[in-house]
Each structure stands twice: as C-alpha cells, then as structure tokens.
Amino acid sequence: MCTFQQYVCSDISIAKSILIVEDDPILGNLLLEALQEETTCQGHLVPSGEMALNMLSTITPELFLLDYHLPGMNGLELADHLQRREGGEQTPILLMSADLPQENGALGHLITLQKPFDLDKLLQLIAELLAS
C-alpha cells in the first residue's frame, strides 16, 4: 500500500484510538486498512455522526477523522458535538471533503484535508496530530 516506514501512533504499551466517520464504505475501509497496516493505531469505523456519538460510550478516541458529507448531521455539525462534550476541545478533529464550506470562520477550529488526498500525506498528518 504505502512505501514508507510504519508511522508510530503510540508508545509501546497503549495503542491510540482513531474514530473514522465515513459513509463511503470503500473509502472508510481503505482508511481503516491503512491505519492497521501502516500505523500502530487502533482504528474504528462508523458510517454516520449518530453512530459516532454512540460509539463514544465504548471508546475514547485520541483523534477523529470526519467526512463532511454524512447522513443525518454533517461532519461540521458532528465536530461541534464532539468539541462540546467534556474533554472534547483537546481531541484533534480532521475534516475531509472534496468540497468544504468556505463561509467565514466555518472551519476556523478544525484541521481540514481536501479530497482526493495522498495517503502518505494523511498518515503523516495523523502522526503529527497524535504527537502534539
């Protein structure tokens, strides 16, 4: 898949958890597979914002990868929910889309990645976000 050394997302004892919220099953599974093969992170995939919020009762992600176009609430609305929960303002959120909203300030608090993206670039960005 990728032609570089494995990105380390954790110390030796505990793998960091990443919640991927992507309704396209092909892309979602590609992202999950890339995390499993190229990092030491534990990936979790759900197809909607509602399922992501429900998943928070069982996992505590160190990073959220959100698609912008989701069924029900969009990725921006989900990001607002995630940041309002206790401790949520410290967890990085990466919003991915081919057409992100351009309104003034709409994305000011989020890290964004334009689709299509280079997988190596995404994995490097994930490693940087988890290291900070």
Per-residue pLDDT reduced to its tens digit, 33-77: 999 999 889 999 999 999 999 999 999 999 999 999 999 999 999
Q: Is position 7 within any domain?
A: no
| Residue 28: count of CB within 10 angstroms of its CB | 19
The residues pairing with 46 across neighbouring beta strands, listed in sequence order, are 21
Q: Would you say residue 84 lies in a domain? A: yes
Q: Is 21 within a domain? A: yes
- The H or E element that residue 32 is part of is helix 25-38
Q: Give 78's pLDDT tier (boundaries 50, 70, 90).
A: very high
54 — phi, psi (to 5°)? -65, -35
Could you tell me the residue range of the domain that residue 56 belongs to? 17-131
**Would 11 be classed as within a structural domain?**
no
Question: For residue 91, what is the domain's CATH number?
Answer: 3.40.50.2300
The single-letter code of the amino acid at 43 is G
- Number of domains the chain contains: 1
Indicate if the pLDDT at residue 6 is higher than 50: no
pTM of the model: 0.86
Residue 73's φ and ψ, nearest 5 degrees, are -85, 145
